[in-house]
Amino acid sequence: MRDNRQQEKLAGWKQLDVERVEIDLTANTFKTSALEGQVNEYGLACIGGSLNAWDPTGFTDIQMTFGNLGTERMTPYTIEFAGWEIDAGRMDLELDYKINKGQLNGTNAVVIRELTVGDKVANPSGASLPLKFAVALLKDSNGVIDVDLPVEGDVNDPSFKLGGIVWKANGNLLLKVATAPFRLLSSLVGVDSEDFGTLHFSAGQAEISPPDREQLVKLVDAMQQRPELRLEVAGAYVVEADKQALQTQQVDQRIEASVAAMKSAGEALSTEQRRRVMEQMLANSEPGLDLLALQQEFSSIPAGEEPEKAAAVLLDETAYLQALRQCLIDAEPIGETELLALAEARADAVMAAIAGDGTESPLAVARLPAVVVDATDGAEVPLELKVEAALE
């Protein structure tokens, strides 16, 4: 089986017909001005450079140009190193390999057009890379992949294999873009950030901050340069932080509504009236609570009077009102239904921001179920967007 694969790898390259060779032999060095020929039916090749004929690992400087190569012939390699077939595509290569005292330093400028990834293949070596996802990340709006791959190694190492090193560099690139897709997307719009796909909400809020709105505008711009990607949006909430924030919001709204109703009825607004409103609300929500006992926690005897003879008791109104409010907040019923609604409202806000002035998103977008997350160090709620290959 391995012999067959090796034959497949070599097939076509044997058709390289040398049309012109110029060799100068000076001080043990061969200089080749050009090796030109055809690869397969429509590919071109040109190889030039120089090397020490008697010690090529001591000194070699070779430049190779390949044009219009069919990528489907790479399938034996992609199966071995990535676990995928290649169905179609055309590739141009600019290779510059230098060896000095056994140390290889090379560059691979690769341009691939109309690349189509085929089926996933079970690989005996166990290699498997997210090739379709990486291709979708690398392919621009014209269907072109343009990357530079540096390679290096010690050619005197018995385990050295140039093909293995090149494909290791390919694999590292694929893993890098697939594991940090938002860093690549951010680089397309002049930003360098792994947090490019993370938005931050205040606890209990679904409004997108101005900096995050700007980030979404840039993300839309970046993804329009990668049309084979799909954005995935899932609402998010932090259980305790969002619960407490919603409880506080609802209690404060009810207090202010009751106070506003008293004002509209012509009653003069006073601290005592606000206290009565809150005491009544707490009596309704916590009928078993002893309000007198709560008052005593914030009461004191006037200075100079003996406790048993005190005619008056001073109540710390401010502290007492804060205690009433906190009791109301703690008793406010907020469950998973309200938390999920908040998470979905956040996702709705993201979808609306992505759509901009249009009625539909300019991107391929998938809505995912809401998730529970942990708060950030700044007590914010992170909503992490995801990207996938649109055709998967």
Q: Mean of the per-residue pLDDT values for the chain?
A: 84
pLDDT recorded at residue 304:
58
Query: Is the model more confident about 32 or about 138?
Result: 138
15 has a pLDDT exceeding 50: no
Residue 65, Cβ density class (10 Å: 0-12 exposed, 13-18 middle, ≥19 buried): middle
User: For residue 14, what pLDDT band results from cuts at 50, 70 and 90?
Assistant: very low
pLDDT tens, residue by residue, 283-300: 888 888 888 888 888 888
The reported pTM is 0.78
pLDDT tens, residue by residue, 293-333: 888 888 886 655 655 555 556 888 889 999 999 999 999 99
CATH 3.30.1330.60 spans which residues of the chain?
193-392
pLDDT tens, residue by residue, 131-144: 899 999 999 989 99
Place of tokens 């109540």: 315
pLDDT recorded at residue 291:
85
8 has a pLDDT exceeding 50: no
Q: What is the CATH number of domain 193-392?
A: 3.30.1330.60
